[in-house]
Structure 1
């Protein structure tokens, strides 16, 4: 133990109450304003994430259907099955579904039981970031440490990407909470070089892997680096502790991976998104190398739309990606300030002891931001703008820590000028981002720009003795104007409904294209979910929704202009394709029916309601009421009918079921109906896909009828 670590450890121990007392009453040395301020922040965050939450309905119908299935079947819950009869899983591990499944089991499946857990994960993330930053800044005093934590918590709460994803049912909400918790455990490990706390961080990252696979481990290098740098013990012991944390990761993720591997394949659902029914292949193929390098990498297929290098739904690859297009609107509001504070924080703390927690905090959060940011910037496969919410805790922590540390050094030119540049730069960047949607609150960008410049000047003139009293006012107003753009856009995002596959921030409701499959894949034109776009991401289907975040008619870089559909996708109303923007469940207030779709080959729309199809499916006593091409079509039907639907080909043309397997299911009476979900009989290229073979077999042996506007084959009555 170094001389520095001992006094710091004693300082922490003397100021701590029991765990329960700290939550209710705060630390003994906290100023009286800290606890009320924290509770106010948490209440405001909860209101931001919960008010009018049900307006989004079931949000992403892909994950919502899996939650509905998990609320009916424990087996479906454990594996993350799309359907309650356990034919295939979603193309992600199930940890995020477990939380929503439990909520649905307790309160019944609804929009509220689906989305409230996501909102609460957001509130918990804000609290964790507050606690992490306050602990790293504790040596500066209770007042400054608490102020830094509150600033960091507010920065996270009012990040547009956070306001979007903590009101949505994608896995990212739980992912952010788990990564934030692992960071807190790492900080707890540092003062005492505690292998137990570090192992706990590894265990939590293991569950992050079970949430979104390798993306959950992108922060691991940052945690290992800071422990190797700042833990107050010998180098070999530090290495041993890091190895122990790696073992924690293996334990946290491995128990489920091993269980799936050992479970007989014919007694569990197929692992959606994999080529060989394997979780590890899914992790390192489709959800691993396929993401970073594009289609086909790691034999994962579906890594990106056609594997086009250098472009994805997040815009063109490169260092500017996080600052441009939709990514910029979701995450970059405070990003310039965070990068500046990373450099200045390390410089200011550069002469401190190796084990100093202040510097350790900047190293950890800075490494988190840089490593994850570079991966997002150069990923050539499938990446969507909302992924950037994984950067929000690091950005928020750096803003809170950097702002307070430079305020602590305000007597120096480095402190004052650093704060001035950060505030003015953030105001200018907010002006630039708000200018992309000049019709929305056009006055706001000018107010933020002018206010931030005035606050920055106040920091500078605060060096003059007669003007030093203005520095505090500059700090308060500077924080307000710096957070103003991000906060306003977060409020706008939370005020409208978001659904579909690719939600986006802004003042206009958003929904992405629906439908799995697409050209060359199962489902042809995208099925019930709308126009497909090839194999993409679990409900992360291609296409840009209406964002309200850019001038009318302007499509963000890497996304398709409004109304443009991917190659092979049928337009609305043609050959049985559903409308091109409706992968989500029925709008709030509707009867829950699936979207209408004309019968195959009808060449136009129909006024028939799909209620008739729902009624037909509900009467089925088969294991799967129906089979349909692609996950998205199956999910939409499951939500509207409440029955189990077999998703042929899964999300990305998965090799299941084979034609012989499907024939066996039909012969055993396990599948009630076959429903045409797109143009023709399921798409495919040259009849080579499993879906096309099954479609051709059904057409040859069964008679089609129209039910509620859909082409349906009764598999209990063969014609030959």
Structure 2
């Protein structure tokens, strides 16, 4: 067996060679640019939660630094601001448009494709690198994520860049490159917190195995690298926590106004163990197949693609639902944006095969079987027979790196209770790398062995297993494609067995490989064709349904509508008030911030449960004239404040702000130049037990550390939300976000607070 020669000298000589144009890689990069960037000018407000923050971040450096959700600097988003910094800079340069806020994600996505090639090709050849880049390009969730202003595309780019510097550190024996590599993980931490640390074990292990140095040098350099990791990880959150709370916004998503608590709590352990919601339940715990099947459905009530209707059935609640195990990929405009089942976040049933289930599989797992078999075959192919079985070749060490990324991330998503399906983009790089390497390695094993050797059967097994999984995924939508994939692959496999050593086998392998790229390629094309840039990105044929509401970015959780009649009333009566109005949550506030650029107080952060303000602080804002109106959309929030408002404030006549014609608009990019107040807060008194008030409030009184931040609320029925000002009724059997988010003036209640202290 011929093993590819690998040495530091060979890799260094490759880097010194004159640049050679790679036409195939160029085509792949152009394909990525098309898939990620085409029609982003129709992105609308994309993820309105982050778009409102981007709008606010362009208003002042303080808002930019902290990632403030609102122009007044009252509360931040529930993630660190590094990814948003790039988007805010883009918006500052090009103006706030749908395409300008999505552009950084597009560029990071294309950059990740290029890095995939750079990480694979030097060690496994150009073909393996190209296939890895192509697999990364057409992974459906990669396309969906790269078309939004979410943080995931940025995160993956920094992780891949960290691996590139790690390879450089090993080849050139440069400690600075190693420090940069681990420091980039620290930066990635401030993109999406602990999610970035999932590849750290693989990095430490790989450096220890691959570096051609004695153990003392390795330990010394790893200590320096770890220091760099710690510095870049902790610099931002510590600087935030050390800043007096009265001089900065409240840290959204945290219970104690702490960036570190946000990192290790809400964005840390809760992602694995489940999130305690504002209603007292623990999200994700105890998800069973039975509960999953009840929750599965075609969100948005859209028309099913051809063939999907046969897979539908009636649930006990009278709604049409997908049967357990039916392939996902639904758009979900009016619910969570992902569709297909698996509870509120459509994440399937906990277990070792969760990523193969219909809830997550059609987004990420199309090539996963081939990647796993390819890993096994590649380890066998690159084993040096002249060495002992436990001695790893250079190529095998590279495989350990990718396996070290795949295995822990796969394990996390198999058992985690609180994540969105689009988080699975974390699996895209190792799957793509192992697929590209696997195709080349398994093809060589097939060529070099006979029917008496088990390695001979690895390529056909990988093809058939992958095709079978894909056939199951596509059957609900395109039965004909199922039989086409299976037919081509079976015929190709038969030809491989009948003519293993001639040109027919080569053609069969090429055809079979192309065949298993057809379905994921089509799924990845759907967000592009539908101009999808949703808050909860997803891919699948349902995006192309004619019943989808509006152009890309117009629907899905978080993209509430602007009630123009309500907005006109508020602007007319705002006067000198600091805030246009207050409301319970960011979902309701975001469209108005985007539309006007004015300060809107999202009292409890993303979903209304953050303990960002106390009743006494709220009263002071009202008494000082900084806040005149409160809009109650029906969503839960600070009960004490809401009850006080209902008891003492005056209801505004619904005819003055409710849009009876229902001509409401999605929060677009308005031309208003008005900005939130820049008044500085008064000094605050410190407390030993409670956090201080955020910068956005006049007084600086201490706040209680009560309440549990949450992203998921039980859904309210249409009838209960229509009763303005009444108690919100919930259905325990439902976990989706309420449709319409309170109606934005069509079913909510506007309270005049200015009459309270008259």
Per the normalisation by structure 2, the TM-score is 0.74
Q: Deviations over 1:187-207 (max 9, x none)?
A: 223334443322222111111
Whole-Å Cα distance in 2 between the matches of residues 84 and 621 of structure 1?
15
SS at match of 1:508: helix
Instruction: Identify the match of residue 49 of structure 1 among 33, 36, 43.
Output: 36
SS at match of 1:218: helix
Alignment of 1:31-50 (within 5 A): 35-50=22-37
The match for 1:485 is 519
The answer to whether structure 1 residue 70 and structure 2 residue 57 are counterparts is yes
Name the CA shift for 1:469/1:647 in 2 (closer, same or farther; >3 Å): same
Name the CA shift for 1:97/1:621 in 2 (closer, same or farther; >3 Å): farther
Q: Deviations over 1:178-233 (max 9, x none)?
A: 11212222222333444332222211111111111111111111111111222211
The match for 1:671 is 627
The match for 1:451 is 488
The match for 1:276 is 256
Name the CA shift for 1:164/1:616 in 2 (closer, same or farther; >3 Å): farther
Whole-Å Cα distance in 2 between the matches of residues 57 and 364 of structure 1?
39
Contact 1:293 1:309 in 2 (8 A): no
Q: Deviations over 1:266-318 (max 9, x none)?
A: 1000111111111111111111111111235xxx9899854523465311111
Instruction: Identify the match of residue 223 of structure 1 among 192, 200, 203.
Output: 203
Name the CA shift for 1:650/1:703 in 2 (closer, same or farther; >3 Å): same
Name the CA shift for 1:610/1:504 in 2 (closer, same or farther; >3 Å): farther
Contact 1:181 1:204 in 2 (8 A): yes
The match for 1:389 is 425
Whole-Å Cα distance in 2 between the matches of residues 595 and 165 of structure 1?
25
The match for 1:9 is 8
Instruction: Identify the match of residue 428 of structure 1 among 460, 468, 477.
Output: 468
The match for 2:640 is 693
Measure how far apart 1:482 and its partner are.
1.8
User: Which of the pair has the greater relative contact order for Cα pairs under 8 Å at 6+ separation?
Assistant: 2
Contact 2:67 2:84 in 1 (8 A): yes
The answer to whether structure 1 residue 419 and structure 2 residue 459 are counterparts is yes
SS at match of 1:87: coil
Contact 2:120 2:132 in 1 (8 A): yes
Measure how far apart 1:646 and its partner are.
0.9
Whole-Å Cα distance in 1 between the matches of residues 498 and 175 of structure 2?
48
The match for 1:708 is 657
Whole-Å Cα distance in 1 between the matches of residues 396 and 231 of structure 2?
30
The match for 1:165 is 145
Name the CA shift for 1:454/1:692 in 2 (closer, same or farther; >3 Å): same
Deviates more, 1:480-489 or 1:49-58: 49-58
Whole-Å Cα distance in 2 between the matches of residues 209 and 110 of structure 1?
27
Name the CA shift for 1:41/1:237 in 2 (closer, same or farther; >3 Å): same
Name the CA shift for 1:308/1:415 in 2 (closer, same or farther; >3 Å): closer
Q: Deviations over 1:441-462 (max 9, x none)?
A: 4322222222222333344445
Contact 1:68 1:639 in 2 (8 A): yes
Whole-Å Cα distance in 2 between the matches of residues 331 and 83 of structure 1?
34
The match for 1:505 is 539
Whole-Å Cα distance in 2 between the matches of residues 315 and 486 of structure 1?
20
The match for 1:527 is none
Q: Deviations over 1:366-395 (max 9, x none)?
A: 121110010011012x11211111100110
Contact 1:291 1:303 in 2 (8 A): no
Whole-Å Cα distance in 1 between the matches of residues 280 and 198 of structure 2?
18
- Structure 1 unmatched runs, 5+: 27-34, 138-144, 512-544, 547-579, 587-593, 597-607, 685-690
SS at match of 2:630: strand
The answer to whether structure 1 residue 369 and structure 2 residue 406 are counterparts is yes
Name the CA shift for 1:306/1:11 in 2 (closer, same or farther; >3 Å): closer
Contact 1:294 1:304 in 2 (8 A): no
- Structure 2 unmatched runs, 5+: 289-342, 659-744
Measure how far apart 1:584 and its partner are.
4.3
SS at match of 2:7: helix
Q: Deviations over 1:590-615 (max 9, x none)?
A: xxxx345xxxxxxxxxxx84453564
Instruction: Identify the match of residue 343 of structure 1 among 376, 379, 383.
Output: 376
Name the CA shift for 1:633/1:641 in 2 (closer, same or farther; >3 Å): same
Q: Deviations over 1:626-654 (max 9, x none)?
A: 11101211213212333111111113511
Contact 1:286 1:303 in 2 (8 A): no
Name the CA shift for 1:415/1:199 in 2 (closer, same or farther; >3 Å): farther
Contact 2:651 2:750 in 1 (8 A): yes
Name the CA shift for 1:492/1:395 in 2 (closer, same or farther; >3 Å): same
Deviates more, 1:195-204 or 1:306-315: 306-315
The match for 1:718 is 756
Measure how far apart 1:695 and its partner are.
2.0
Measure how far apart 1:86 and its partner are.
0.8
Instruction: Identify the match of residue 323 of structure 1 among 339, 346, 356.
Output: 356
Per the normalisation by structure 1, the TM-score is 0.77
Contact 1:673 1:712 in 2 (8 A): yes
Alignment of 1:283-298 (within 5 A): 283-296=263-276
Name the CA shift for 1:293/1:7 in 2 (closer, same or farther; >3 Å): closer
Name the CA shift for 1:483/1:62 in 2 (closer, same or farther; >3 Å): same
Deviates more, 1:192-201 or 1:45-54: 192-201
SS at match of 2:602: strand
Equivalences, count? 594
Name the CA shift for 1:249/1:6 in 2 (closer, same or farther; >3 Å): farther
Deviates more, 1:708-717 or 1:447-456: 708-717
Instruction: Identify the match of residue 188 of structure 2 among 208, 211, 233.
Output: 208
The match for 2:582 is 627
Alignment of 1:638-649 (within 5 A): 638-649=593-604
Contact 2:108 2:157 in 1 (8 A): yes
Whole-Å Cα distance in 2 between the matches of residues 425 and 650 of structure 1?
46
Contact 2:241 2:260 in 1 (8 A): no
Instruction: Identify the match of residue 404 of structure 1 among 436, 440, 444.
Output: 440
Name the CA shift for 1:338/1:397 in 2 (closer, same or farther; >3 Å): same
SS at match of 1:99: helix
Name the CA shift for 1:279/1:364 in 2 (closer, same or farther; >3 Å): same
Measure how far apart 1:319 and its partner are.
0.7
Name the CA shift for 1:9/1:396 in 2 (closer, same or farther; >3 Å): same
SS at match of 1:225: helix
The match for 2:285 is 308
The match for 2:510 is 476
The match for 1:463 is 500
Measure how far apart 1:170 and its partner are.
1.3
Instruction: Identify the match of residue 334 of structure 1 among 357, 363, 367.
Output: 367
The match for 2:245 is 265
Contact 1:499 1:510 in 2 (8 A): no
Alignment of 1:172-183 (within 5 A): 172-183=152-163
Name the CA shift for 1:301/1:365 in 2 (closer, same or farther; >3 Å): farther
Contact 1:127 1:153 in 2 (8 A): yes
The answer to whether structure 1 residue 131 and structure 2 residue 168 are counterparts is no
Whole-Å Cα distance in 1 between the matches of residues 358 and 509 of structure 2?
31
